[in-house]
Chain A
């Protein structure tokens, strides 16, 4: 641990990243360029999120990492260990106990408080990229608020699929100004983007940071006659019975048996601890966890 500065990055780099974060918070939804550093993990493994976390963690923080809602995937575990080792921070799997949560592709079910920060790993920060490959042109479109193209994408969706088929990375307009990619969270999570906590987005390979300050207006783009709908599987969690959570569908046996369960593992476990039992679940026992 003595080989590293606190949280791996040197202080000068952290200051540079913090300036980008502050600028991002001052201009909600605006993509701030920053000089992304080499991290001891490949791009695509959350280097953007890791750099943001490294820049904001303090020794008093309690850190949680989720990958698609789960704390126990290889990716989540390795990032959590990384900061345990380089920053010596406390870690947790409990959403309510964490002060900083780094996430890939989900927002926790539990509402965040105003003393919590959510850090997103972002693969492609530019929502206009799909239709306009030129970076010069997309930057101009943002600066001039020329967002017609975003609706062309939704138009194409409806004309091809009969409905807005975009299910992840569903574009939003932040505080009536910048159109933003919320990272590949399911659109079910979009309404939660209006929250009490601070949200920071880091794209390592693309060298961009952006942010949503607490209680900022975040509107999912849509058409008057095809309004935005935050859909999920029409089912309850088979483990904890929750009807309001985002579900993963699992094939559980060779006979094609299926099971729906909360993608947010902490949410599911907490509910089971509190005595909730789903259709295929068994009552929670400490040792079985």
Chain B
């Protein structure tokens, strides 16, 4: 089977400082990869390199494009990459305001990606937006409200709807539950898990939170100081960590 994403030897430096280095892995269709690690370990840097927001200094990120199979997204032209960004890829930011248009209604936010790929029937766009708001548990009567009138959890759910509406093949998420209070996090996680299963999503999820990966990720990479120090099936890594750092991470979480 062709991997959906093939990451080979990615490195990104900020001057002399390592952002991330030596990262390679394959992601297969329908798989969810979790990336965990402490603050500053390079998770966001890696994710942004994979999603085309940052240009790595080294390596290749090959995506299984619909038209031509595996293509290196780092060397492809910017128009091609931006086209992927609004069709086959989705990116859920930690802060909803980075991923939403705050001066546009909820319906407009969800509809934007549809219109970007030439949806031109208002009624259809609106029906689709209502359907997606429902799937992220936002009631229809909020469709014309701006995200500024929403709670943090609702904003995050709106961001997810806005990203998933065009049926992307690969979803990047950076701390999707970060910054929300615990009960809100739990509800969002539940929702995400439902969507991942129902849509058979392929995703790469960056998080601090081992509960998030336990629930969502099939596989797990543990990062420290820009390096991947351990990787494998999520249950294996969490139940039988090999690296001393991972052992520490797991035990500290289990104590909570």
Tell whether A pairs with B. Answer: yes
User: Which residues of A are at the interface with B, using a C-beta cutoff of 8 A?
Assistant: 131, 144, 146, 148-149, 151-152, 155-156, 158-160, 223-226
Interface check B250, CB cutoff 8 A: no
Q: How far is the CA of A148 from the CA of B82 in the complex (A)?
A: 13
Chain A neighbourhood of B117, CB < 8 A? 148
Q: Name 11 A/B residue pairs within 8 A (Cβ), A-sorted.
A: A131-B101, A149-B116, A155-B111, A155-B125, A156-B108, A159-B108, A159-B126, A160-B105, A223-B120, A224-B121, A224-B122
Chain B neighbourhood of A224, CB < 8 A? 120-122
Chain A neighbourhood of B79, CB < 8 A? 144
Contacting pair B120 A152 (CB below 8 A) = no
Question: Taking chain B's interface residues, is the majority helix, strand, or loop, or is none over half, making it mixed?
Answer: helix
The A-contacting residues of B in range 117-164, CB under 8 angstroms, are 117-118, 120-123, 125-126, 143-144
Chain A neighbourhood of B78, CB < 8 A? 144
User: Which residues of B are at the interface with A, using a C-beta cutoff of 8 A?
Assistant: 78-79, 82, 86, 101, 103-105, 107-108, 111-113, 115-118, 120-123, 125-126, 143-144
Contacting pair A148 B144 (CB below 8 A) = no
Contacting pair A225 B112 (CB below 8 A) = no
Q: How far is the CA of A143 from the CA of B186 in the complex (A)?
A: 42
Contacting pair B112 A148 (CB below 8 A) = yes
Q: How far is the CA of A159 from the CA of B144 in the complex (A)?
A: 7
Contacting pair B143 A159 (CB below 8 A) = yes
Contacting pair B108 A155 (CB below 8 A) = yes
Most buried by B among A149, A151, A160: A151
Chain A neighbourhood of B143, CB < 8 A? 159
Q: How far is the CA of A131 from the CA of B103 in the complex (A)?
A: 8
Contacting pair B105 A156 (CB below 8 A) = yes
Q: How far is the CA of A155 from the CA of B121 in the complex (A)?
A: 10
Question: CB-nearest residue of chain A relative to B107?
Answer: A159
Question: CB-nearest residue of chain A relative to B144?
Answer: A159
Most buried by A among B115, B118, B126: B115
Q: How far is the CA of A149 from the CA of B118 in the complex (A)?
A: 11
Contacting pair B108 A152 (CB below 8 A) = yes
Q: How far is the CA of A152 from the CA of B108 in the complex (A)?
A: 6
Beyond A152-B108, A152-B115, list 12 extra A-B contacts (CB 8 Å): A131-B104, A144-B78, A149-B116, A151-B120, A152-B104, A155-B122, A159-B105, A159-B126, A159-B143, A223-B120, A225-B122, A226-B122
